[in-house]
Amino acid sequence: MIPNPAHPATATAADGRPERPAPTGRWGRRSLIAGLALLLGLSFTPSPYVIRQPGPAFNALSTAEVRDEDGERTEVDVITIDGAESYDADGALTVMTVNIAGNPEHRPSWFELATSYLVPSRDVLPMEVYYPPGQTAQERSAENAELMTHSQGTAVAAALRHLGHEVGVELVVADVPADSPSAGILEVGDVLLRYGDDPVTDLASIRAIELPTAPIDIAFRRDGEERVESITPRLTATPDGDRALLGVTVREDLSLPFDVDIELGDVGGPSAGMMFALAIVDKLEPGDLTGGLVVAGSGSIGVDGEIGPIGGIRQKLFAAVEIGADYFLADEANCAEALAGGVPGELPVYAVDDLAEAIAVVEANASGDADGLRTCADALAANAPQA
């Protein structure tokens, strides 16, 4: 008899014995469970990403908790002025921060990434955005601390210059790598004076100079003596595209008329500069710059008062809503990112290019007359291509 394939129960094996149907249900369940277990295990393995999320906020007009030399936590004034009369102020000029979860030594799991995608205030970014290949968490922390120190110095200089005080600035060579085009010519401690015929007075003036890839005379001061040497800049990849550079690291050394000390604890990076400068102006002038309002904002600042873009503005907007800020100050270059997907809580976001404009926005809001101020929406509309 020929077995009927439509009825597997009647099929016979080669030896004539009936075949048993395969236990597909049992093995299917086992495979599913094994697959789910494997997937669950993989979800807790390290990933090559970090999670950017809102960090704490600090009122620059108030106090912050820092660790003393013995490791004990203590409350200190964020800004202390010695050598000039200063004033207490109401309201808040709030420094916004972000928290980066993950580093090369402790990577977030895929499960943590998956849950972060469900939280609007978080971003998942490649590890390289915050940790270039080969950089450790400790090295990154030291770099951020240096950026914060520089940010504090430029904030003080910008605020004092705005108020009419004399601030001296020298551009000092901080590092000359062995493979730099300036190696063997410039040394650490040299004070840069001119690139060709162009004087260099601060970092902004250096960024404004387009160097050639041909030899150029560089004037500098060493041990009190002015010197001029020819250096051939090298074309180098930068965030702003390829540029000819001398290949040295430069810092700004400031001469201030009095001491301004800033303490913010374990916070790094350059993005607090604008808010520090506003707070210094407020503390050095009688009255109340904010009108008692809670002002949030983020932006770097140069000694010339020019405000620069920062990272993580979306996270900082969420944090600003959380603390009840009345409005937010942002560099114009951050406006597109700030408004992407809508502003949390419909928080007013004003575009500012320099310290003078930031002060004008704060004063206008304090007086209750914010009509006509340039918002981020205004800035984007003005820059939109015309049909």
302-312 pLDDT, tens digit per residue, is: 999 999 999 99
Kindly state whether residues 156 and 245 are assigned to the same domain: no
- 87-116: pLDDT as tens digits: 998 899 999 999 999 999 989 988 889 899
216 in any annotated domain: yes
Residue 328 domain boundaries = 51-98+144-164+258-383
State the CATH number of the domain containing residue 176. 2.30.42.10
Q: Pairing between strand 123-126 and 92-101?
A: unpaired
- Among the candidates 188, 221, 255, a domain finishes at 255
Kindly state whether residues 153 and 74 are assigned to the same domain: yes
State the CATH number of the domain containing residue 288. 3.30.230.10
**Residue 346 pLDDT:** 87
Mean residue pLDDT across the chain:
88
222 in any annotated domain: yes
89 in any annotated domain: yes
270 in any annotated domain: yes
What's the angle, vertex CA 270, arms to CA 364 and CA 205, rounded to 5? 85
Q: Which of 275, 362, 353 is nearest to 57 (CA)?
A: 275
pTM given for the model: 0.82
206 in any annotated domain: yes
115 in any annotated domain: no
> Which pair of structure tokens corresponds to residue 58?
């600090």
Q: Which of 36-45, 86-95, 353-362, 372-381 has the lowest mean pLDDT?
A: 36-45
Kindly state whether residues 238 and 274 are assigned to the same domain: no
**Residue 110 pLDDT:** 87
18 in any annotated domain: no
Total count of residues recorded for the chain: 387
Q: Pairing between strand 92-101 and 294-298?
A: parallel
Kindly state whether residues 333 and 270 are assigned to the same domain: yes
Kindly state whether residues 151 and 181 are assigned to the same domain: no
Mutual angle of helices 273-284 and 137-162, in 10-degree steps: 40
Kindly state whether residues 159 and 291 are assigned to the same domain: yes
CA distance 198 to 228: 13
Kindly state whether residues 247 and 157 are assigned to the same domain: no
120 in any annotated domain: no
- Which has more pLDDT, 5 or 310? 310
Kindly state whether residues 160 and 174 are assigned to the same domain: no
> Which pair of structure tokens corresponds to residue 374?
């340039």
**Residue 178 pLDDT:** 94
Kindly state whether residues 263 and 288 are assigned to the same domain: yes
What CA–CA distances, in Å, run from 325 to 23, 92, 244, 245?
Answer: 64, 9, 43, 42
Q: What are phi and psi of 103, to 5 degrees?
A: -160, 175
Kindly state whether residues 279 and 238 are assigned to the same domain: no
- Among the candidates 239, 255, 271, a domain finishes at 255
> Which pair of structure tokens corresponds to residue 129?
């955005």
> Which pair of structure tokens corresponds to residue 284?
């050095």
C-beta of residue 316 within 8 angstroms of C-beta of residue 95? no
Kindly state whether residues 377 and 268 are assigned to the same domain: yes
What CA–CA distances, in Å, run from 134 to 105, 131, 139, 199, 380?
Answer: 11, 8, 10, 37, 38
Does residue 78 have a pLDDT over 50?
Answer: yes
**Residue 44 pLDDT:** 57
pLDDT band at 26 (very low <50, low <70, confident <90, very high): low
Kindly state whether residues 76 and 211 are assigned to the same domain: no
Number of domains in the chain: 2
Return the residue matching tokens 């980066």.
100
**Residue 24 pLDDT:** 53
- Among the candidates 199, 230, 255, a domain finishes at 255
Q: What is the dihedral of CA 311, 317, 318, 319, to 10 degrees?
A: 90
CA distance 366 to 360: 10
pLDDT band at 281 (very low <50, low <70, confident <90, very high): very high
- 195-251: pLDDT as tens digits: 999 999 888 889 889 999 999 999 999 999 999 999 999 999 876 788 999 999 999
